[in-house]
Amino acid sequence: MSSSGPQPRRKQSRKGSMADVPKDLLQEIKRLEDLFTVDTAKLKAIVDHFISELAKGLSVEGGSIPMNPTWCMGFPTGNETGTFLALDMGGTNLRVCEINLPEEKGEFDIIQSKYRLPEDLKTGTADELWAYIADCLQQFIEYHHEGEKLDRLPLGFTFSYPATQNYIDHGILQRWTKGFDIEGVEGKDVVPPFEAALEERGVPIKLTALINDTTGTLIASSYTDSEMKIGCIFGTGCNAAYMEHFSEIPKLAHMKVDPKQEIAINCEWGAFDNEHKILPRTQYDVIIDKDSPRPGQQSFEKMIAGLYLGELFRLVLVDLHEQPHVKIFEGQDVSALKKPYSLDASFLSDIENDPFENLQETDDTFHTKLNIKCLKPELELIRRLAELIGTRSARLSACGVAAICKKKGYKTAHVGADGSVFNKYPHFKARGAQALKEILDWDKGRDGKPLGRGHDPVEILPAEDGSGVGAALIAALTLKRVQEGNVMGIRDPEGMLKGTKASDPKSKQVAPETK
């Protein structure tokens, strides 16, 4: 039946036209849908197990999820003041920020510089690493404060490598990640050599807090939005941080802290379900784990994080090519597709973002990147597979958020999220929101409004800058505790104040007058 007049535009996220897909491929698509779809009942079962695993990580015996205490005690009020530095040591760059917290509540000013981390430094010596970082900080100070007589500036150092912390101003590196392999650093406290390099150059800086980027994300987000209760990273890896009461942390009971006192916990939840009890792993997930540098570890992360999404997709396509009854890409050279980790999450993003009904962009990408010419039904399968893997990642990610909300009894909350998958992967936010709705049984939004953006009881929103602003704020909160005489989890409280503006009782740095 034909009709005149304007036709409604088809939605971009489309199922594709399966009418032309041969029966054997349709069966394959159905099999993949069954493999990768996580229904509501399964989501709820995962969340229940997740809650018990979070609690186990806080127990004396411990569990798979490390649940590391960060010694960042409590949220900011928004009234913190003063000037702080933040240092963020990532995998490719070193970022130095100076953050000024003015009198206005929840406001901040920031200046920053980036310095490239030379590749040879990552496998060099410890002395070279600390010397290079100290040189960058010295350059930053000289450039932005030329000729000024400075008090010692408090520094928050975002050191996003697995570290054990008994105090906020120290950290023992457990193991290098992100391509670093410097001898003589693992198993040692990273703070003394770092401070020695600063001392040697006479740089007026005092390390006040060593933090993880996820904890920084939590604190920075809550500074500008007091409803923020959880900080998450959904990127190359995955993680979350939230505030827990000491009464819920048996492994810290010996410290005799007020049970109502809160402390930020860096979950390191990529390790959830390392025992393989609940997550719906496919044969492809098993291969990823088996061939990874550390089999049996980071089970949750390997199913949802950006580093693995492209590899999952690649493994499925290679398997389908090799199945005699399916034979996709028949008679073609698939050697490029057989190269492990040759496809990243952005490859899947591009497929899901392809706006054309005939999937022309996907066809072009396969041709240029993998030298594979796709038939139309194969393109439909490729698109559906990308949707399935992307959707599973978002739905499983939501399980961790829901678990913390249920554990803490949060009926409403904002969750600050950062990372490339959260920020760039198409539909990730909407799919995560849909999963939360199913898990937490929402039928209406806040104040009885209809569900949807802005009204969902728990919303995952873009976070503030955790590794910059968050690190500076945690330095501020730590100094404030020293000023108040609350020195739990601080190794060198006297040295922390010495020579800084905060040591002057009349100074407004950090401890703001009540407004």
Residues annotated as catalytic are 160, 175, 213
Task: Classify burial at 5, counting beta carbons within 10 Å of its beta carbon; exposed 0-12, middle 13-18, buried 19 or more.
Answer: exposed
Cross-strand partners of 336: none
- What DSSP string describes 174-221? ----TT---TT-TTSBSHHHHHHHHHHHT--EEEEEEE-HHHHHHHHH
Q: By three-state DSSP, how is residue 99 classified?
A: strand
CA separation, residue 146 to residues 131, 136, 142, 150, 500 (Å) = 21, 15, 5, 10, 18
Helix (H) or strand (E) holding 302: helix 299-304
**Nearest Cα to Cα of residue 217 among 240, 199, 198, 235:** 240
Token couple for 366: 């396969």
Q: Do 312 and 287 contact (CB within 8 A), yes or no? A: no
Cβ-Cβ contacts under 8 Å for 79 (sequence gap 6 or more): 105, 512, 515
Please give the Cα distance from 54 to 143 (Å, whole number): 45
DSSP symbol at 275: T
Residues 6+ apart with CB under 8 A from 256: none
Only one residue has tokens 């490339």, namely 420
- CA angle, corner 307, sides to 456 and 348, nearest 5? 70
Q: Specify whether the CB–CB gap between 345 and 310 falls below 8 A.
A: yes
Adjacency order of strands within the sheet including 205-211: 109-116, 93-101, 82-89, 153-159, 205-211
Token pair recorded at residue 119: 């590749």
Using CA atoms, how far residue 390 sits from 110, 358, 453, in Å, is 35, 21, 20
